[in-house]
């Protein structure tokens, strides 16, 4: 006698001081076998391709078109059972609470910045932070949203932020995220334009300006476009333009261009540009993913990446996947040589 959770939650309403709401539990478990060459401890690994999630969310109808909403999302590594990278916060995915109404949606907490969230739809691996995909490197020209976070922390989220999403006006939507200047646990100083003795940002420094992120999206039939701009806690700026087009119902084409400006923390070679083209093609229960892109930091060797993937659906919630990827990249940050990193992945992806 296994009732669904929501039914159980409703049935259990007797115990609480207030009526039990319909908390939805959701998640993803994704694990497979992967190998990436030219990494430390190069070996065949059991690891994840997609983010692994266990989430809790709910919506309360307040009447008059007003809603209260919350979402809490645990992220973990399925191969070890630990929190992502062993250092990330419990609700790395997001922890937000807010209100939704005719004015749009306002939420407070931690989550993907407005630009980072909008950009996912223009990346052929749908933003999966996998080696075969183009997040979080080429898709954002090497930019990070959280340079003053804990070492190993997520590169595309704001903590301590207010998130606004406008309603959709004739296909057009505006999304804005603004974060406070609070220190965010960074353990290492960022020397930047300072010196080792007097770094531009000390360990656990506060932001020198409020980080913000903006994206504007427009959707018209098979066509979608995005303009994005973001400034992080050390005043690095990112500019992005992206578009997608359904050439046929099963064929989605994507392209994007990004520029990162690090002039606030670097004296020279402050700009990095990147571009990316990709496609998703659905054939029966299969889906083919294709992507190619380049990243060009000023005065440093170019990075070039080509990837191909295949997803085989066993159900709307479960698929098997296969990825192949080749990345020609500098051997190190200051290298004049490059290496060709190969990547293989085979695994299973299950939503619940």
Residues 60-79 that bind a copy of itself (CB under 8 A): 60, 62-63, 66, 68-72, 74, 76-79
Smallest distance from a copy of itself to CB 43, Å? 5
The residue from 37, 80, 187, 269 that contacts a copy of itself (CB under 8 A) is: 80
- CA–CA separation, 58 and 104 (whole Å): 17
Residue 338, phi then psi, degrees to nearest 5: -125, 165
Within positions 205 to 224, which residues make up the interface with a copy of itself, using CB under 8 A? 206, 215, 217-219, 221-222, 224
CB 114 within 8 A of CB 238: no
Which residue in the set 36, 51, 91, 211 belongs to the binding site for a copy of itself (CB under 8 A)? 91
CA distances from 307 to 11, 166, 276, 304 (A): 49, 34, 11, 10
Q: Which long-range contacts (CB under 8 A, 24 or more apart) does 71-78 make?
A: 71/95, 71/96, 75/51, 76/52, 77/47, 77/48, 77/52, 78/29, 78/30, 78/31, 78/48, 78/52
Among 130, 135, 145, 184, binds a copy of itself (CB under 8 A): 184
Binding segment toward a copy of itself, per CB under 8 A, in 172-180, 233-241, 274-282, 300-308: 172-180
Nearer to a copy of itself, 191 or 346 (CB): 346
Q: In whole angstroms, what is the distance from residue 268 CA to residue 236 CA?
A: 14
Which of residues 19 and 198 has its CB atom nearest to a copy of itself in the complex? 19
Note the helical H segments in the chain. Answer: 5-11, 114-119
Span interacting with a copy of itself, options 100-108, 132-140, 258-266, 279-287, rule CB under 8 A: 100-108
Query: Is residue 145 near a copy of itself by the rule CB under 8 A?
Result: no
* Touching a copy of itself, residues 243-282 (CB under 8 A): none
- What are the percentages of helix, strand and coil residues in the chain, rounded to 5? 5, 55, 40
User: Considering only residues 209, 285, 314, 332, which one is a binding residue for a copy of itself as defined by CB under 8 A?
Assistant: 314
Residue 103 interacting with a copy of itself (CB under 8 A): no
- DSSP codes joined into one string, 91-123: T-SEEEEEEEETTEEEEEEEEE-HHHHHHGGGS
The residue among 159 and 236 lying less far from a copy of itself, judged by its C-beta, is 159
Nearer to a copy of itself (CB atom), residue 60 or residue 298 = 60
**CB-wise, 92 or 274, nearer to a copy of itself?**
92
């Amino acid at each position: 006698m296994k009732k669904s959770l929501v039914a159980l939650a409703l049935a259990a309403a007797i115990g609480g001081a207030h009526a039990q709401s319909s908390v939805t539990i959701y998640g993803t478990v994704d694990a497979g076998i992967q190998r990436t060459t030219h990494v430390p401890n190069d070996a065949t690994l059991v690891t994840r391709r997609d983010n692994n999630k266990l989430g809790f969310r709910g919506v309360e109808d307040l009447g008059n078109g007003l809603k209260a909403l919350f979402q809490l999302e645990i992220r973990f590594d399925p191969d070890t059972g630990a929190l992502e990278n062993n250092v990330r916060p419990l609700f790395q995915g997001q922890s937000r609470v807010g209100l939704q109404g005719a004015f749009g949606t306002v939420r407070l907490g931690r989550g993907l910045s407005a630009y980072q969230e909008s950009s996912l739809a223009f990346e052929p691996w749908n933003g999966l932070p996998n080696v075969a995909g183009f997040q979080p490197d080429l898709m954002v020209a090497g930019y990070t949203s959280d340079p003053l976070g804990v070492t190993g922390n997520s590169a595309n989220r704001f903590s301590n932020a207010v998130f606004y999403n406008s309603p959709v006006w004739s296909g057009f939507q505006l999304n804005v995220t603004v974060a406070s200047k609070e220190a965010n646990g960074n353990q290492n100083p960022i020397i930047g334009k300072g010196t080792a003795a007097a770094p531009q940002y000390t360990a656990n420094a506060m932001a020198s300006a409020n980080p913000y992120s903006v994206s504007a999206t427009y959707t018209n039939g098979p066509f979608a476009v995005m303009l994005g701009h973001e400034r992080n806690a050390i005043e690095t700026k990112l500019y992005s333009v992206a578009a997608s087009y359904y050439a046929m119902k099963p064929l989605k084409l994507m392209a994007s261009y990004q520029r990162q400006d690090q002039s606030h923390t670097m004296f020279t070679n402050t700009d990095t540009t990147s571009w990316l083209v990709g496609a998703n093609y659905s054939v029966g229960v299969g889906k083919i993913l294709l992507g190619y892109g380049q990243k060009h930091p000023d005065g440093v060797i170019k990075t070039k990446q080509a990837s191909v993937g295949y997803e085989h659906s066993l159900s709307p919630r479960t698929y098997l996947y296969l990825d192949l990827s080749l990345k020609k990249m500098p051997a190190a940050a200051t290298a004049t040589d490059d290496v060709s990193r190969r990547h293989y992945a085979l695994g299973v992806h299950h939503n619940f």
